[in-house]
Amino acid sequence: MRPLQSWRRRNRGITLGLFALCLAAARCLQSQGVSLTIPQPNINATVAQDILLSVEYSCHGVPTIEWKYTSYWGMQKIVEWQPGTQANISQSHKDRVCTYDNGSIQLFRVGVRDTGYYTVTVTEGLGSSQFGIIVLHVSEILYEDLHFVAVVLAFLGAVATVLISLMWVCNKCSYKFQRKRRHKLKESTTEEIELQNIDC
Ligand SMILES: *[C@@H]1O[C@H](CO)[C@@H](O)[C@H](O)[C@H]1NC(C)=O
Ligand SMILES: *[C@@H]1O[C@H](CO)[C@@H](O)[C@H](O)[C@H]1NC(C)=O
Ligand SMILES: *[C@@H]1O[C@H](CO)[C@@H](O)[C@H](O)[C@H]1NC(C)=O
């Protein structure tokens, strides 16, 4: 009887051990599943720019990448693809989106309406997935641009002022010079006349 009991106990112990091992492996797999990095989660852009929504994922298998767009007007799917295959781009973004193998997408000629939240989901075959969000803000014209224009205008104004004062000084100088020359010319002619008079 005794050896049988101890054998059963040992058997139960082994089963428990195996179960724990399986759990640990599963947890390990899950944590190793997909990782996703987003270097720039906030992007400010101006109208008509081309914007790269840059992400980078890592996982073991070939994942499915999906981008969604959320704004005041609701949520819509932009694109879904597996790296190395043709991307399925939604009608709303046809000809405006380009996909990269690292999961990034590029939006061409953004408008104010493209302002919103862009959610990327990377799903691996085993079912583990990660998602990330990029906030894009598209404005008509940046304050910095106006600032730049103002600085350029001020610079041009300063250059114009300097040129105008230079011209004024030159004009004054040449006028004085001409007057002096005329004066000298007059003096010499009167001298000549006087000389001629003496000659006579
Ligand atoms: C984008 O603009 C907001 C203000 O509109 C500012 O708080 C934020 O720092 C800007 N982000 C970048 C990355 O320039
Ligand atoms: C993803 O790939 C694109 C195009 O090659 C690159 O410009 C971008 O920097 C990459 N993103 C990251 C986070 O490495
Ligand atoms: C592309 O996506 C649409 C809807 O998002 C779906 O109906 C269609 O079957 C997909 N096409 C391919 C080739 O996966």
Residues 115 and 171 in one domain: no
Residues 114 and 162 in one domain: no
> What pairs with residue 137 in β-bridges?
44
Of the listed ranges 20-24, 69-73, 178-182, the one predicted with least confidence:
20-24
Q: How many Å is the maximal CA-CA distance in the chain?
A: 168
Q: Is 77 in the pocket of ligand 3 (CB under 6 A)?
A: yes
More confident call, 161 vs 10: 161
Whether residue 47 contacts residue 140, with contact meaning beta carbons closer than 8 Å, is answered with: yes
> Where does a domain end: 108, 140, 172?
140
The pTM score is 0.63
Nearest residue to 105 via CA among 69, 70, 137: 69
- Pairing mode of beta strands 42-46, 129-139: parallel
- Could you tell me the residue range of the domain that residue 179 belongs to? 141-200
Domain with residue 136: its CATH number is 2.60.40.10
> Where does a domain end: 103, 123, 140?
140
Q: What percent of the chain has pLDDT over 70?
A: 76
pLDDT at 47 > cutoff 90: yes
Q: What is the pLDDT of residue 48?
A: 92
pLDDT at 19 > cutoff 60: no
Flag whether 61 is in a domain: yes
Flag whether 189 is in a domain: yes
**DSSP calls for 30-57:** HHHS-EEE-S-SEEEEETT--EEE--EE
Nearest residue to 42 via CA among 27, 53, 31: 53
Flag whether 133 is in a domain: yes
Flag whether 4 is in a domain: no
Residues 46 and 113 in one domain: yes
Question: CA 138 to CA 45: how far, in whole Å?
Answer: 5
pLDDT at 88 > cutoff 90: yes
Q: What is the pLDDT of residue 1?
A: 47
Residues 50 and 101 in one domain: yes
Residues 117 and 184 in one domain: no
Residues with CB under 6 A from ligand 1: 42, 44, 137
> Where does a domain end: 110, 140, 170?
140
**Ligand number, closest to the Cα atom of 64:** 3
Residues 89 and 169 in one domain: no
Flag whether 136 is in a domain: yes
Flag whether 78 is in a domain: yes
Atom of ligand 1 nearest to the CA of 40: 13
- Pairing mode of beta strands 42-46, 116-123: unpaired
Residue in 88, 89, 93, 121 to alter for ligand 3 test, most ligand atoms within 8 A of Cβ: 88
Q: What is the pLDDT of residue 32?
A: 61
Residues 101 and 171 in one domain: no
Residues 168 and 190 in one domain: yes
Residues 62 and 124 in one domain: yes
Residues 148 and 159 in one domain: yes
**DSSP calls for the chain:** -HHHHHHHHHHHHHHHHHHHHHHHHHHHHHHHS-EEE-S-SEEEEETT--EEE--EEE-SS--EEEEEEEETTEEEEEEEE-TTS--EE-GGGTTTEEE-TTS-EEE-S--GGG-EEEEEEEE-TTS-EEEEEEEEEEESS-HHHHHHHHHHHHHHHHHHHHHHHHHHHHHHHHHHHHHHHHHHHHHHHHHHHHHHHHH-
Q: What is the pLDDT of residue 184?
A: 77
148-190: pLDDT as tens digits: 888 999 999 999 999 999 999 999 988 888 888 887 777 776 6
**Number of structural domains, the chain?**
2
